[in-house]
Amino acid sequence: MRSIAQINEKIKKGKAVVVTAEEVIDIIKEKGYKETYEMVDVVTTGTFGPMCSSGVFINFGHSNPPIRMQSIMLNDVPAYGGLAAVDTYIGATEVSVKRGMEYGGGHVIEDLIAGKDIKLHALSNGTDCYPRKEILTTINKDNINQAYMYNPRNAYQNYPAATNSTNKTIYTYMGTLLPNYGNITYSTSGELSPLLNDPYMRTIGVGTRIFLGGGIGYVAWQGTQHKVDVERTANGVPIVNAATLAVIGDIKHMSTKYVRGAVFDRYGVTLFVGIGVPIPILDEDMLKFVSVKNSEIYTKLVDKSGNVNIDKKFNYAELRSGTVKFNGKNVHTAPLSSLYVARNIALTLKDWINKGSFELTDKVTDLPFESRVNSLEIREIK
């Protein structure tokens, strides 16, 4: 069995063998598990899709005279004012008060990463130590202090595919769904997806260094709605939404190639985020996990209208083919995530490790493997 410290020594010496999660499948097919384990040290993964539970903490610095910001707008998008005097958090899904869902928090974050000037308008009641009551200026990533992405829920470990049983088009966070099961959408990079390559999170935990938005980030905690007590296939892969990651990273080192604001028609604003996780090949069991193929990864189909409980699942080879057989007819399928960008992320992370600019980290602690997600109970208020 290898350790991460041993793998890092090989990285420092330029001797580590790094391949992507797609490449390792072909290597195993040619050489078998034993020979591949002796050869490969790290497998890189990648995903790029809509991750609504995302946002950025910003410290603006103090003006003269100073202000305690209570109502904050960035390019006319509300940001949170309930922190210290000049700190804020802008969420990806917040919408512009002037432009509606045409522009929102995700676009502000993208523009900030791009180096554009952002209009800051803040109001205050004024205090003895913070007498200013209004400020109107522009900020950018070079003249603010800290600006770090903290995303409470990213990189879902699988997610149900979506369809629509009603006789009208519906507009959802899974995209536009046509009437009478007219299409199916899904969101994953399949065999490249980080948590699908480490289904029991043996190597991924708090403190794991990752590729985040074009820069270096870390797993900060379990993501919200993290759950692991779910139905799985024999290879350990869940067939429904399961584990999630909370992640953190400095946006000043990110790129708009891997962080993009977007709009789901008639639904709202989101943020596409690129994440890549290196999987150290500690033993042959780990190699078996990272060699999972699209044809071996299944997901359930869900009716997003909520009317019908569908008892059907597809694997990602079927979904990626563009058409599946459902209810006696051929139904078109479409991804919400970008396989092209996910591949780019895995290859970029591979390049960083090969160049010695990215080393692996031991996790500080495990992500919980006993968890459940509660529903919100509607209770009578007395």
Residues involved in catalysis: 129
Tokens of 13: 């010496």
Find the helix or strand (DSSP H, E) in which 300 lies: strand 298-303
Q: How far is CA 187 from CA 5, 10, 56, 292, 333, in A?
A: 34, 35, 23, 17, 11
> Angle at CA 74, nearest 5°, toward 248 and 268?
75
Nearest C-alpha neighbor of 46 from the set 265, 275, 349, 351: 275
In contact, 159 and 241? CB cutoff 8 Å: yes
Give SS3 for 176.
strand
DSSP state of 252: G
Query: How many angstroms separate the CA atoms of 245 and 190, rounded?
Result: 17
Q: What angle do CA 208, 196, 318 make, to 5 degrees?
A: 155
Q: Is 219 exposed, middle or buried (0-12, 13-18, 19+ CB in 10 A)?
A: buried
Return the closest-CA partner of residue 246 out of 221, 271, 227: 221
What count of other Cβ atoms lies within 10 Å of the Cβ of residue 12? 11
Residue 246 neighbours by CB under 8 Å, 6+ apart: 150, 151, 152, 153, 154, 219, 220, 221, 222, 223, 224
Q: How far is CA 61 from CA 110, 198, 230, in A?
A: 21, 41, 45
DSSP state letter for 163: E
